[in-house]
Structure 1
Amino acid sequence: MRVKPLPLGFVFRSRAKEEKAPAADKAPVNFSKQTRDPQAPKGRPTPKRSEAQSQRRSVANTPTSRKEAAKRQREERRTQMERQRQALASGDERYLPARDKGPVRRFARDFIDSRFNIAEFFLPMAVVILVLSMVRVGYLQNLALLLWLVVIVLIVLDSIVTGFRLKKRLAERFPAENKRGAVAYALMRSLQMRRLRLPKPQVKRGERP
């Protein structure tokens, strides 16, 4: 009996194709109705309009080069310095330098500005003493030296009394606040003439802070 030869394609046919075919038929088809923005990243849903606008705004505000970043930093620094200058003139606590912020420092400034301080007359007295000492007259030079000693002693005594009073008032007014450096801050302010003080005085002389 003669056997018919099998076709070679049947013998050497790839079994991988036969195994993949049923798996492809069984794979679920995703008929998602969610639309995707053509500009959205692949595989992600379309962002909301507000999110897209904020992203575009952040990208627009991001500096593209080192030169542009340096320019933006200079502009921000200039704006901050202008705000501080205005705050020093108006006493606005929001934009004052760190050394002038806080209720303790404000009270210390008001305490000094509300009274006469001998130390604030140091600069004009120093000019007078310097002029007298330059005159080639013996008794005037001696007078200049005497005035210099008197002014120094009065400033030291007045500063000691002012420091003790201020420290006592701060302890009464701000028992739980950090008062470190407040007295020294106030005494340094007392050495300046009233019209040259920064921040500008916010109380009148004789007004109780």
Structure 2
Amino acid sequence: MPRPRVILNMAMSVDGKIATVEGDSRLSCPEDLRRLHFLRSRVDAVMVGVGTVLKDNPSLTVRLVRGKNPVRVVVDSMASTPLDSKVLDGSARTIVAVSRRAPRARIEKLKKKATVLVVGEHWVDLPKLLEQLHRLGIRKLLLEGGSTLNWNMLKNRLVDELRISVCPVILGGEKAKSLVGGEGFRKVEEGLQLVLVQKRKVGKDLLLVYRPK
């Protein structure tokens, strides 16, 4: 089945962390933030996991450049997105993807502020979600994390391009979130092999663009 083209865009420290042990994720330099907002303006939708909504409360809109706001997609198996979240502020259309085990009362409350898609039994079925998003007219999707959603998308080979900004800082911390979480691949040969297609400086950050082999 057809699905949107998926671009994963993340900023990380030199040691691969996307936030400190206390959750501070303000890594990108101003120039890289403008690049991100321009990218948002050129896609049909931007997608994050509910953990990112709970931790960062992002708006996921275009503010630093001129352009349209993308549709906002939240992967939220248990329908736990707070009703006062910025992603539900009405500034752009929002889709919340939930599983069938999400409490019915929460789903009904979310429906007052967003389009709710029930996709999957216990967890959101990502391949099926992408198929539904494609049917809704979404052709280009920007994935902005967090690490658990990144893992599940990459594990299922659902990412077509990775744009990684490496920021000149080391954060450390065993419990600090990395670019990709989850259980991980057991052997190197099982990992997702990539090809570097572009590299350039963006302000003080280094942008690396990869595509899966």
- With normalisation by structure 1, the TM-score equals 0.20
Compute the TM-score of the two structures, normalised by the length of structure 2.
Answer: 0.20
Query: Which of the two has higher C-alpha Rg?
Result: 1
Give 1 or 2: higher strand fraction.
2
Q: Which of the pair has the greater relative contact order for Cα pairs under 8 Å at 6+ separation?
A: 2
